[in-house]
Amino acid sequence: MVGGLAACAFLAGGPAVPAVGVAPVEDPALLACLVACIVLAAALFLCSGSNLKYGWGTVRPGEGGLATGDLAAVVRFVATEREVTQRESEVMLLLAEGKSRRAVCEALSVSPDTVKTHVRSIYRKLAVHSQQELVDYLAREREDLAADGSEHPLEA
């Protein structure tokens, strides 16, 4: 730890000998290992579960936060996590709200074949096989988000 103080003082541009009177680190390999350990510790902290799930305070353009707790927020989160397209997200939200495929066609002004293609893609990306499984998947995801103890839990 004392060698770490000397390394930190050296890296910060300060005197090579810390105030506690310890000799500076003269071995460059030791200094390189110390710096590598500090960088590794910082990387592990930044890759914590909360940071991986919510990022580092950034939001992609067009996305809101997860604090609202509505179904649309869960769908946006899952879409981002599973690389679902914008149009597929719109279809997924309507299906999650319990709409039929015909109602999705009318709401989005697309053909039944287009909806069928989007539904297949959504099911493949989320590894589900039916609309009910999709609803159950989103419900589980919502519970997981609320239970992870993050700063942005979804409210019921």
The 10s digit of each residue's pLDDT in 91-104 is: 999 999 999 999 99
pLDDT number for residue 69: 55
The 10s digit of each residue's pLDDT in 105-145 is: 999 999 999 999 999 999 999 999 999 999 999 989 888 87
CATH no., domain 58-147:
3.40.50.2300
Domain boundaries, the chain: 2-46, 58-147
Q: What is the mean pLDDT of the chain?
A: 76
| Residue reference for tokens 């589900």 | 128
pLDDT number for residue 17: 47
The 10s digit of each residue's pLDDT in 17-49 is: 455 555 666 788 888 888 999 998 887 777 666
Contact 138, 74 (CB under 8 A): yes
The whole-model pTM stands at 0.54
- DSSP secondary structure, 56-114, as one string: SS---TT---STT-SHHHHHHHHHHHHT--HHHHHHHHHHHTT--HHHHHHHHT--HHH
What is the rounded CA–CA span in Å between residue 5 and residue 29? 16
